């Protein structure tokens, strides 16, 4: 992967001294696991997209465009974005801007897809002290797990001190789940009673972070369907509570989108964005056969970039998003 | 977001009537609309392809071509074909003739298995059965705790052995326990797993072999996209599931995944999970789902909900009052409470056909707090004022506003809207449908007032 954690996180004036040291100490064994996972991943992808990958651009005619359309639709890119991408490529080929050559057309397609994914890309802003990161999303998209992994990377790899706020006070055992992650990451956990006010938990966590001079506060929130306006209002309130303590916080709000999500993902991103100003998407569960094309639709329609992707169960499997790599994977290199 | 398919079809085919005949190109453009609508609803691409082919053949049949309103005909055919593809009427779970009925739940991570387990337990509880749950998700942190808590809420016993035991062993042990304790139903919760994870899929196969469940249910998120087909095929192979539980149907996803899963595996959707609360769980109605995918509303479910909540005689009396224009703020309050018992209003609006097309209504997402305020205002009125809102003058308004903790302006607005509504109700009670503009006037303007419940015919 071309993009590293250090590149995608803006630490401001902080000197992540401990980070480099930890990085260098990364055991060989871990790298081995990493490589194996990557291989198994690309294998499953390849098998599924074989039909379009190798021979698609051998001969270029109407059928080519139809098959390409089909491939993108099957990746959940959605009809409007698919049409835009295919039309653009078709036009460029017909006008001669792109030579009628399989490799050239394919490369251009990957470029176009990467351009779509690249909208408004910015690092994860953790320059403030303390920086507040809030995680939102519908139920079951992997918020708590993602937060656990982010905390681990920030704490173990970059040497930042992290406070986690278990502001999901609704789902049974959500705080216990986060507690396990906090232990793994060496982060401090602030939690409230079950069914207590999530805003109060966020408030306490920020106070705790300030008192201890912590670098980052990560706020977990309860999963909610974007159609439940009362729950969306509750989320906006959590944000307001945070804002009252630190006027420009949360500095980074991420929405987790399950890669298996279909066209409804666009609605999710839009409605959450209206409630809490989402800065980026974490595309989770990309280790299955789903290709998460909805992320392209979100980037193209709403201009919200993907910042992180989850490609497996282990800690290293949460990674910075790389548009070009993703575009290639979408078509199975 | 997307226009309703039925309306899009109507407009695509509207000029056909003047020409009197449906041509092949008319049908082609209708099929294009259907194809797009189904793709937007996340129906699998391949299923869509096969489906539109069948449809086209039927639509080119003579009875459609010569009918008075081909648009309407095509919508009807689409609806019929969709419903039959989804399995016609509802299917049932297989129950054990003796001993506990064992139900194994499987699915991807985050599809909502644990919640579905508890909801299913509650479902059986309501039928008077003794239900137990087996906690076999030893991987996700705190999954066991979640099941214990939620199972407790459902009034089910939970068999758990922490996270150190092997899931296959836990399942076997739980079944023994359920047998000796003479439970009626044992629901086995398993860890979420990727369908391409061979080890975990083998484990699921083993749990299946050891517990020999009467039913294996696949839990599928209604928001799943094109990948639903691949997932369902893999789970069908290993777990040989008998039916599907669709979760998160309370969102605004069209749920095309349901159609794809049914079309590819032939397994029926048995249950639908429709809300945050443990009782938001119901048997699945394929025909209604077809209408949802098409954006045609779900009037049947709405009527059913209303029937559960609304007292028949009271409804009659209210309707009489509406007709005679004697509807008071007290009646309004009563009705509002009844409607709110049916669940969040946003959900109810979604079930009404035609609402998708009314932009004003769609954007006026109903704020439940606003309704609390309306209730408070009415409760701060005297019985005389409620019976005759005309009495309410400046000083009364002030008192009501102070009593309900609202502004004089809000009181004024409520009374004004109530007057408008009364006119509307009178015309509705006399058999006229309100115009979209009238409806929108009521819903818009910042102040959201609930509409009267859908009239039964």
A112-133: pLDDT as tens digits: 998 888 876 788 999 998 999 9
Closest by Cβ to B224, choosing from A48, A173, A260: A260
Q: Is residue B64 within 8 Å of residue B74, measured between CB atoms?
A: yes
At which of B294, B328, B346 does a domain end? B294
Shared-domain flag, residues B218 and B277: yes
Nearest C-alpha neighbor of B193 from the set B181, B182, B183, B207: B207
Q: What is the pLDDT of residue A193?
A: 81
- CB of B27 less than 8 A from some CB of A: no
ipTM above 0.90, yes or no: no
Same domain assignment for residues B236 and B379 = no
For residue range B327-351, list pLDDT tens digits in order.
788 887 877 777 776 666 655 555 5
Mean residue pLDDT across chain B: 79
The per-residue pLDDT for A186 is 92
Identify the domain boundary among B42, B59, B85. B85
Last residue of a domain, one of B259, B274, B294: B294
- Tokens 């480099």 belong to A20
B28 in any annotated domain = yes
- Across the interface, which of B112, B194, B369 has its CB nearest the CB of A139? B112
Q: Are residues B149 and B285 in the same domain?
A: yes
User: Do residues B280 and B307 share a domain?
Assistant: no
Q: Are residues B328 and B347 in the same domain?
A: yes
Contact B227 A290 (CB under 8 A): yes
**List of chain A residues whose C-beta atoms are within 8 Å of the C-beta of residue B230:** 48, 289
Give the three-class secondary structure for A311.
coil
Q: Look at residue B457 and tell me if it is in a domain.
A: no
Query: Mutate which of A151, A263, A268 to test chain B, going by most B C-beta atoms within 10 A?
Result: A263
Question: In this structure, is residue B374 part of a structural domain?
Answer: yes
Q: Taking 70 as the threshold, does the pLDDT of residue B304 lie above it? A: no
Identify the CATH number of the domain in which residue B70 sits: 1.20.120.140
User: Are B276 and B398 within one domain?
Assistant: no
Which of the 8 DSSP states describes residue A138? S
- Name the token pair of B455: 């009239």
From residue B422, give the alpha-carbon distance in Å to each of A306, B280, B324, B394, B428: 51, 33, 10, 22, 10
pLDDT at A23 over 60: no
Share of chain B above pLDDT 90, in %: 30
Residue of A262, A268, A302, A330 best to disrupt the B interface, most CBs of B under 10 A: A262
**Angle between the N-to-C axes of helices A143-152 and A174-185, in degrees from 0 to 180, rounded to the nearest 10:** 20
- Our CA-based measurement puts residue B417 at a distance from the nearest CA of chain A, in whole angstroms, of 23
State the smallest CA–CA distance between residue B249 and chain A in angstroms: 10
| Residue B438 confidence (pLDDT) | 59
Q: Could you give the CA distance from residue A174 to residue A178 in angstroms, rounded to a whole number?
A: 6
CB distance from A47 to chain B under 8 Å?
Answer: no
CATH number at residue B271: 3.40.50.300
pLDDT mean over B376-382? 90
The CATH number of whichever domain residue B437 belongs to comes to: 1.10.260.30
Q: Which chain B residues are within 8 Å of A268, Cβ to Cβ?
A: 223
Q: How many percent of chain B have pLDDT more than 70?
A: 72
The domain in which residue B62 lies consists of 5-85
Looking at the structure, tell me whether residues B233 and B258 fall in a common domain: yes
Does the structure show a pLDDT above 70 at A146?
Answer: yes
What's the rounded Cα separation, in Å, for the pair B455 and A44?
A: 53
B residues 245-264 lying closer than 8 A (beta carbon) to A: 248, 250-254, 256-257
User: Count of CB atoms within 10 A of residue A175's CB?
Assistant: 26
Tokens of B29: 């453009």
B62 and B105 belong to one structural domain: no
B136 shares a domain with B16: no
Residue B114 resides in a domain: yes
Could you say which of A44, A76, A179 has the minimum Cβ distance to residue B226? A76
Total domains present in chain B = 3
**B412 or B73: which carries more pLDDT confidence?**
B412
pLDDT tens for residues B230-268? 899 999 998 899 999 999 888 778 788 888 888 889 888
Q: Are B45 and B80 contained in the same domain?
A: yes
pLDDT band at B201 (very low <50, low <70, confident <90, very high): very high
Q: Are residues B230 and B373 in the same domain?
A: no
Which pLDDT belongs to residue B358?
46
| Residue corresponding to tokens 């309103």 | B69
Same domain, B109 and B254: yes
């Amino acid at each position: 992967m071309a993009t590293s954690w250090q590149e995608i996180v803006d630490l401001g004036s902080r000197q992540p001294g401990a980070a480099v040291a930890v990085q260098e100490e990364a055991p060989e064994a871990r790298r081995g696991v990493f490589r194996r996972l990557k291989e198994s991943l690309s294998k499953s992808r390849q098998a599924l997209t074989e039909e379009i990958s190798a021979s698609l651009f051998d001969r270029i005619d109407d059928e080519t465009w139809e098959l390409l359309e089909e491939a993108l639709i099957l990746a959940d890119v959605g009809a409007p974005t698919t049409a835009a991408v295919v039309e653009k490529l078709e036009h460029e080929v017909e006008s001669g801007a792109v030579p009628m050559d399989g490799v050239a057309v394919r490369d251009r397609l990957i470029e176009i897809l990467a351009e779509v994914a690249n909208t408004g890309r910015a690092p994860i802003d953790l320059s403030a002290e303390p920086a507040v990161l809030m995680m939102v999303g519908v139920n079951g998209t992997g918020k708590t797990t993602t937060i656990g992994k982010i905390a681990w990377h920030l704490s173990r790899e970059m040497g930042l001190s992290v406070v986690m706020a278990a502001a999901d006070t609704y789902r049974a055992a959500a705080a216990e789940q986060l507690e396990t992650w906090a232990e793994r990451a060496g982060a401090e956990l602030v939690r409230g009673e079950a069914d207590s006010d999530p805003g109060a938990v966020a408030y306490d966590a920020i106070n705790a972070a300030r008192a201890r001079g912590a670098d980052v506060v990560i706020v977990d929130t309860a999963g909610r369907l974007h159609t439940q306006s009362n729950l969306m209002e509750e989320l906006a309130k959590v944000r307001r509570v945070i804002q009252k303590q630190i006027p420009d916080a949360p500095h980074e709000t991420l929405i987790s989108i399950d890669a298996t999500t279909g066209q409804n993902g666009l609605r999710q991103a839009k409605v959450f964005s209206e409630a809490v100003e989402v800065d980026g998407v974490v595309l989770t569960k990309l280790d299955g056969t789903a290709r998460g094309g909805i992320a392209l639709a979100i980037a193209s329609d709403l201009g919200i970039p993907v910042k992180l992707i989850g490609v497996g169960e282990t800690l290293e499997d949460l990674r910075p998003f790389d548009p070009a790599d993703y575009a290639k994977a979408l078509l199975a290199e | 977001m997307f226009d309703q398919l039925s309306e899009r079809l109507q407009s695509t085919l509207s000029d056909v009537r003047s020409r009197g005949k449906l041509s092949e190109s008319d049908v082609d453009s209708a099929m294009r609309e259907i194809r797009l609508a189904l793709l937007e609803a996340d129906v699998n691409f391949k299923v869509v392809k096969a489906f539109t082919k069948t449809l086209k053949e039927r639509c080119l049949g003579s009875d459609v071509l010569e009918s008075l309103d081909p648009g309407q005909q095509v919508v009807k055919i689409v609806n019929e074909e969709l419903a039959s593809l989804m399995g016609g009427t509802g299917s049932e779970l297989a129950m054990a003739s003796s001993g506990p009925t064992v139900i194994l739940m499987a699915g991807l991570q985050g599809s909502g298995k644990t919640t579905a387990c508890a909801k299913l337990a509650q479902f059986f509880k309501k039928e008077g059965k003794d239900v137990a749950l087996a906690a076999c998700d030893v991987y996700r942190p705190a999954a066991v705790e979640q099941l214990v808590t939620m199972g407790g809420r459902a009034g089910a016993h939970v068999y758990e052995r922490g996270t150190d035991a092997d899931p296959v062993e836990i399942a076997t042990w739980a079944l023994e326990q359920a047998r000796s304790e003479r439970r009626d139903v044992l629901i086995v919760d398993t860890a979420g797993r990727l369908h391409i994870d061979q080890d975990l899929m083998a484990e699921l196969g083993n749990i299946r072999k050891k517990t020999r469940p009467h039913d294996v249910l696949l839990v599928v998120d209604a928001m799943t996209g094109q990948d639903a087909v691949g997932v369902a095929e893999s789970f069908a192979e290993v777990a040989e599931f008998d039916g599907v539980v669709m979760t998160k149907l309370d969102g605004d996803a069209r749920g095309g995944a349901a159609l794809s899963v049914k079309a590819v595996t032939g397994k029926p959707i048995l249950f639908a999970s429709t809300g945050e609360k443990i009782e938001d769980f119901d048997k699945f109605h394929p025909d209604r789902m077809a209408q949802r995918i098409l954006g045609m509303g779900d009037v049947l479910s709405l009527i059913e909900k209303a029937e559960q909540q609304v007292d028949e005689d009271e409804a009659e009396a209210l309707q009489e009052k509406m007709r005679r224009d004697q509807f008071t703020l007290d009646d309004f309050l009563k009705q509002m409470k009844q409607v709110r018992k049916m669940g969040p209003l946003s959900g109810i609006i979604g079930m009404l056909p035609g609402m998708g097309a009314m932009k004003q209504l769609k954007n006026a997402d109903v704020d439940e707090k606003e309704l609390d305020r309306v209730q408070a205002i009415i409760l701060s009125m005297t019985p005389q004022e409620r019976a005759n809102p005309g009495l309410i003058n400046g000083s009364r308004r002030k008192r009501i506003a102070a009593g309900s903790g609202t502004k004089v302006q809000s009181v004024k607005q409520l009374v004004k809207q109530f007057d408008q509504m009364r006119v509307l109700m009178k015309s509705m009670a006399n058999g006229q449908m309100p115009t979209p503009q009238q409806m929108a006037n009521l819903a818009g303007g910042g102040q959201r007032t609930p509409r009267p419940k859908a009239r039964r015919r």
